[in-house]
Amino acid sequence: MNVYWDLEQLPEEPLEPIMTMGNLDGVHRGHQIIISHIQQEAERVGAPTLVVTFEPHTRRVVRPDPAFRTVMTTREKLRRLQELGVEHVLVLPFKDGFAEMTAFEFVEEVLWEPLKARSVFVGPDAFFGKNREGDVRLLSSEGRRLGFHVGVIAPLFADGHRISSSLVRRAIENGNLERANRLLGRDHVLSGVVMRGFRRGRELGYPTANIGDEGVVLPPFGVYAGWAVTDDGERHGAVVNIGNRPTFDGRSLSIEAHLFNFDGNLYGKELRVSLHHHLRPEAKFDDAGALKAQLTRDAVEARKLLGIKKAPAKAKQ
C-alpha cells in the first residue's frame, strides 16, 4: 500500500482513483462497506483505490478537547486499511491550510487537480470543508461540474443504531466491549511502544510489558483477556491491566500486558494488544501476596477464555 503524507508526495500523473474520504476512525463495519464498494467499482473500471484521511483527527483541531480519544491511532488505521486491500492512502495534515479550506477549495485542490478522482463514495452524512459546509449535495454538484461520479452508500445499522465512530467510542467507554468489537468487526486494539516500568509484575512472577498511552479510547479500568502481537508478528494470548495500580498507590495511567508463553525483550518496540474479554474491575489488594493470587486466577481464566491450555512460561518482558 502506498501512503502519501501530503499532496506534494502524490505522483505527478494523477491516480484517477475510485476513492472515499474522512477520518475513518476505527475503520468500523460501516467504513468497511464503503471500502468494499470502492474496490468493486475499481475492479469494474480498472482503476486504483484510494482513501483520503486526516492527521490529527479533525475534531482535535475544530473542537479541541483534552478528554477526546480516538478509536485508533493513525498507524493502526493505515495497518487496517492495508489489511482490507486499499492500494493508496493520502494522509492530509489537518491543520493550518487544510483546516481552513472551504468545501469548494477542497474539491478543487484535493479531489480534482492532484487526483482527478473518477468516483467518490461516501456515506449520506459526509461533511467536509471549513465549518463542515460541504455535504453530499455539494459534492454531487461539484462532481457533475468537474466530471467525477459521487456514490452515496446507505449506512449500516446494528441493534437499531447507525454504526459510527461515536457509537463505537461510547460502547468502549461504557465497558460494552463485546458490542464495540461487534461494531468494529474485530477486537478493539491498543498499541504503543513498550516502556520500562517499576518491574513489580516481574517480582510477582507475572512480568508485564508497559505500553505507552497514545490517546486511544479506553474501556473502564480493569483486567482484560486478549491477544498481543509483537513487532515481528508473533501472536500471544495476554492478560491486560488498564488502570493506575491502586495496590501500589499509583496515580498515573498504566497499560500493562502479561504475554503467555513469551520469552524475549520488548523494550522500545511496538506492541499491539487486542481486548477480547473483560475479566474483572481494577481492585486494590491488601498486600502483594493477595495481588499475586488474583493474578494467577486472572491468568487461568484468560487462558480458558482464549483457548490456551499451556501454562504461561517464565518470560523477560
pLDDT in tens, 192-204: 999 986 666 666 6
Contacts by 130-136 with C-beta closer than 8 Å and gap 24+?
130/99, 130/100, 130/101, 130/102, 130/103, 133/102, 133/103, 134/102, 134/103, 134/104, 134/106, 134/107, 135/103
Contacts by 138-142 with C-beta closer than 8 Å and gap 24+?
138/103, 138/104, 139/103, 139/107, 142/104, 142/107
pLDDT in tens, 145-180: 999 999 999 999 999 999 999 999 999 999 999 999
pLDDT at 200: 63
Residue ranges covered by each domain of the chain: 2-161, 188-306
**Would 2-161 and 188-306 be classified into the same CATH topology?**
no
CATH top-level class of 2-161: alpha beta
Q: What is the pTM of this model?
A: 0.92
pLDDT at 286: 82
CATH top-level class of 188-306: mainly beta
**Which ranges of the chain have pLDDT less than 70?**
96, 197-205, 249, 310-317
